Amino acid sequence: MLELILRNNLSILRLLNLIFWILLVKKIKFSGTNLFVIKSFIVLFVIFTFWNLMMILSDKKGAIYLFFWAVTSMYEIYFIISTLLKLSNQDYSFLSLIISGLLSLPIAFAAILAFKTKSYRPVNNVDFYCIIFLAVLSAVNLRFILTKVSFVKNIESFFIFSGFIMYFGLHILATNTTIFDFLKNWDFVQNATMISLIYWLGSVLLAWKIRSKHM
């Protein structure tokens, strides 16, 4: 049992995050950009949970990995760009689809090329530059939350995007060392993800406690 938990620790942490963030939305009334960010974040965990489930059930793990890597990366771009436009008081729905669609083209091409060549190198290369871009956008979103909107009303968004900066920052370090040899420092990649998931789990519990005191 312990071995099973240790082998699937990231999947368990993602599932716990999904459950607690859903409970937070159910128990506390949110609105505006903060609600959009939380719901979009929950959808991201739903995608990851389904990804983990398919990796367990399917024999075609390589194809499943490439498909969900592409879907997750595209969604992260859409989520973070939509939030930026929403924080900027722009009509984000149409613009975000166009911008996200254009930026997602290299991701789609990398996944297809990796599948055809049976090599993860195209994915690793594109992912490295993608997470740098997402880290920068996350920092811009965090700056908006801290300076342009009400911090108190957007505490959860602060936790989510500060977690994204940590997540992408650690993965930049991990990807940079594994870009030509993906499995060389796989433990570093796993630990980078674990740290971010633990941060988000602690954040949702802290946000819940803060909100409960002011209800």
CATH code of 175's domain: 1.20.1070
Burial state string for 54-84 with b = 16 or more CB within 10 A and e = fewer than 16: beeeeeeeeebbbebbbbebbbbbbbbbbbb
Query: pLDDT band for position 92 (50/70/90)?
Result: low
Output the pLDDT for position 91.
64
Reading the block at residue 81, the tokens are: 């760009």
pLDDT at 193: 86
- The 10s digit of each residue's pLDDT in 148-175 is 777 778 899 999 999 999 999 888 877 6
Domain that holds residue 6: 2-213
* The pLDDT of residue 43: 96
CB 173 within 8 A of CB 192: yes
Instruction: Find out whether 160 and 38 touch, Cβ atoms under 8 Å.
Output: yes
* Cβ contact 45:14 at 8 Å: yes
Would you state the pLDDT for residue 124? 84
DSSP annotation of 179 reads: T
pLDDT band at 128 (very low <50, low <70, confident <90, very high): confident
Instruction: Tell me how many domains the chain contains.
Output: 1
The length of the chain in residues reads 215
